[in-house]
A and B are shown apart, each in its own frame.
Chain A
Amino acid sequence: MTELADLTIAAIRDGVRDGAFTAREVAEAFNARVAEASALNAFLVATPDHALAAADAADAARAAGETLKPMAGVPIGMKDLFCTAGVRTTAASHILEDFTPTYESTVSQNLWNAGAGMLGKLNLDQFAMGSSNETSYFGNVISPWRRRDGGNAALAPGGSSGGSSSAVAARLCPGATGTDTGGSIRQPAAFTGISGIKPTYGRCSRWGTIAFASSLDQAGPMARTVRDCAIMLEAMAGFDAKDSTSLQLDVPAWEAGLSGDLRGKRVGIPKEYRVDGMPAEIEALWQQGIAWLRDAGAEIVEVSLPHTQYALPAYYIIAPAEASSNLARYDGVRYGLRDLPDGANLQQMYAATRAAGFGPEVKRRIMIGTYVLSAGFYDAYYTQAQKVRALIARDFERAWEQCDLLLAPTAPSAAFALGEKSADPIAMYLNDVFTVPSSLAGLPAMSVPGGLDAAGLPLGLQIIGKALDEQSVLNAGLAIEERAGFTARPERWW
């Protein structure tokens, strides 16, 4: 029999419902996996009792003959950017090292309302700023994957949702929450051979999620299959009056709508995504993805997104600008760390607290944001970036006149080794070249595993859809999943 902790979200849900096993057995199996995997540094806090309580509630509901909730008996991992009542929430920072919220984020509450339980809080890049999970105050997350070269180099799980990607890939949890500001769900999913979807901006409430760049931040699920992503996204999404940008729309039945039949769909291939120096294996996988979608019935068309090359520089104005404003709240007064040197006045206390509490990458982005918003530079940087952002959104609008979806690689390379890019901020930022444009336009986008490179590392394919058309994105993801037959998993060394 398959080990319970190797099952997908759908299989756990169905098995608990049908009485094949109890939810408590599932929670215990995953709690044990989490406890054994400290070498990955994926979890910052384990919450086995939370998972067991949710499991017992599911088992009791079944015993009482009640209809089970949509995720009853499914334990998940929670990125430590979501506030959880009574459970330490740090954003992987020193400044929030001892912060224990008295309230629950809407997304996490939605998951508990759907019957899910929490295995623990997952490590991430500090304040979700990073692409390799090397900026956490609590140490790097290690990918469970290793190159097939016998070298055993520790690889990046991607970022910023690196604890989530590492934990799902290592089968420590069947699914995990992520957040995506410029690619933080999709790039780590691609690096670790799992799936993840960033929904349309406004689908998931941002209330109670520690803010990075508010016009870009979106929560989404990370799991091993497209179906599991659909199940989890249905639970996470929904209108929330507490978030002024929340979309007042019903949540579609994405799982019920899943179909890998793409007849009648046109898939655009954006020619500007063919960047210089892209590895031949990525190009080959892209061609393979095109063939898979054609086989699923889609018509393939070439499209142009002419402002693609300006997406990254626009992002690195807009996101730090919003971050510098959002992170102004960490002042050592209402919550979080306070550093009060002897004899310091209030202003000196602010500066000392923030210098001690933020890591180097967070400070770098706060300073870039402060600079581009400062008097005399605002129009040249920030206003210009918001105009370019409008042009990038217009590029997508024009592409939708020719197609329904876009297919591209998720990242320009497979996972790199820890330390390989951390000395050069711009080299690190370039990792998000394929994910940032759709973030700037607020569009739903998903990464699904396509295959392995010569070193045995996973590569991801990205599908981008029209606003609110998560269903077509998921369906194209399913069509790829059905044809890729991706069953590779990392060999356990931890």
Chain B
Amino acid sequence: MAVDTNTVKKIASLARLAITDDEAARIAPELDNILHWIEQLGEVDTAGVEPMTAVIPNHLRLRDDVVTDGGIRDQLMTNAPQAEHGFFAVPKVIE
């Protein structure tokens, strides 16, 4: 399947990446080429094969249901581009 400029714009929008028409036109053949190369996986017979979920057999551990962290609000805010009154500030989202 060919990846065209519109597909690139749609993917960029899903990925929240601003993209110009020129960039989309440049990236389309590149992505098309890579995806075409990846499609050789379709040759492999995987009937009856379970998809891998854990590379080394391991299970998620349980722990006591107690608070182990927290109370570090100011520390969490130190790298925020815009912090106000202990909150992360963003452009207005409700018109």
Contact = CB atoms under 8 A, between A and B. Distances in A.
Question: Does more than half of chain B's interface fall in helix, strand or loop, or is it mixed?
Answer: loop
Nearest to A442: B55
A245 B58 CA distance: 7
A110 interface: no
B50 A335 contact: no
Contacts, number: 161
A391 B31 CA distance: 26
Nearest to A355: B18
B82 to A, nearest CB: 7
A304 interface: no
B51 A386 contact: yes
B41 A313 contact: yes
B88 to A, nearest CB: 5
Contacts of A351: 12-13, 16-18
B18 A374 contact: no
Interface residues on A, range: 35 or more
A338 B82 contact: yes
Interface residues of B, number: 52
B17 A338 contact: no
Contacts of A386: 51-53
A334 B79 contact: yes
Interface in B24-44: 27, 30-31, 33-35, 37-44
Nearest to A99: B79
A200 B40 CA distance: 28
Question: Does more than half of chain A's interface fall in helix, strand or loop, or is it mixed?
Answer: helix
Contacts of B40: 310, 313
A367 B15 contact: yes
Given A241-B63, A351-B18, A381 B80 contact: no
B41 A310 contact: yes
A335 B79 contact: yes
Contacts of A336: 79, 81
B55 A333 contact: no
Interface in A115-154: none
27 contacts: A100-B79, A201-B56, A202-B58, A307-B44, A313-B39, A313-B41, A316-B38, A324-B15, A331-B16, A332-B81, A345-B93, A346-B90, A349-B91, A354-B16, A355-B18, A364-B27, A366-B15, A367-B17, A367-B31, A371-B7, A384-B44, A387-B46, A387-B51, A389-B52, A390-B52, A425-B30, A426-B34
Interface of A: 98-102, 200-202, 215-216, 241, 244-245, 247-248, 307, 310, 313-314, 316-317, 324, 328, 331-338, 340, 344-352, 354-355, 358, 363-364, 366-368, 370-372, 374, 380-381, 383-391, 393, 425-426, 440-442, 467
